[in-house]
Amino acid sequence: MLVYAAIGLFGCLALIGGAIAVMLRNPVYAVLSLVKSMIGIAIIYFLLSAEYIGAIQIIVYAGAILVAFLFVVMLVNLSSEDIPPLPRGLPLYGGIGLALGWMLLFLWAGFSIREVPSSTQFYSEETLSLPYLYGSVAPLGKTLFTAYAFPFELLSLTLIVGMISASLLVKRKKEI
């Protein structure tokens, strides 16, 4: 029961952070509220006993990516006067209703479907119950460097391409 309460609490933190990030006119506050949402998601990762992913989420997302966003918001000097307010009426309320309806549909499905879906039939009961070192670095690294070694190398290539393209994009023409 404690897990449900914690998932509900920090899920609400993530949801409220995301909603404020979508609705607010001041861009700096929107980015900071998205940081709050990311921290809530990281705590959900911790609750799903994936400690390493949660730590990476805090370090990379809240620490690096959103701070880069904040940096660009300040660089282009975006203020709340530049942001048009959200359109009222059908798009906004319809979208909010869609989001909440989606969530209620999943909650209803989770608490009414009793049998396990067919794709999990071949998992035995002890596999489903015992997470032996599930979220720690060792099984993650074993999978990453054996079965997914080639995608991992491709990912490093992608990082280099992204880095070079970003530095070329931001450079002024005379300096190239």
Q: Which of residues 121-160 bind other proteins (CB under 8 A)?
A: 123, 127-128, 130-131, 134-135, 139-140, 142-144, 147-148, 151, 155, 158-159
- Which of 28, 36, 53, 55 contacts other proteins by CB under 8 A? 53
- Backbone angles phi and psi of 153, in degrees to 5: -65, -40
Q: Angle at CA 38, nearest 5°, toward 43 and 131?
A: 35
| 46 is a contact residue toward other proteins (CB under 8 A) | no
Q: Which of residues 57-76 bind other proteins (CB under 8 A)?
A: 57, 60-61, 64-66, 68-69, 72-73, 75-76
Q: How far apart are CA 119 and CA 43, in angstroms?
A: 28
| Residues in Cβ contact with 26 at an 8 Å cutoff, skipping those fewer than 6 apart | 79, 80, 83
Minimum distance between the CB of residue 60 and other proteins, rounded to whole angstroms?
5
| 39 is a contact residue toward other proteins (CB under 8 A) | no
Residue 73 CB neighbour total at 10 angstroms: 16
Minimum distance between the CB of residue 175 and other proteins, rounded to whole angstroms?
13
| 176 is a contact residue toward other proteins (CB under 8 A) | no
| 32 is a contact residue toward other proteins (CB under 8 A) | no
Distances (CA, A) of 27 to 23, 38, 59, 158, 174: 10, 16, 22, 29, 31
| Of residues 120 and 175, the one with the C-beta less far from other proteins | 120
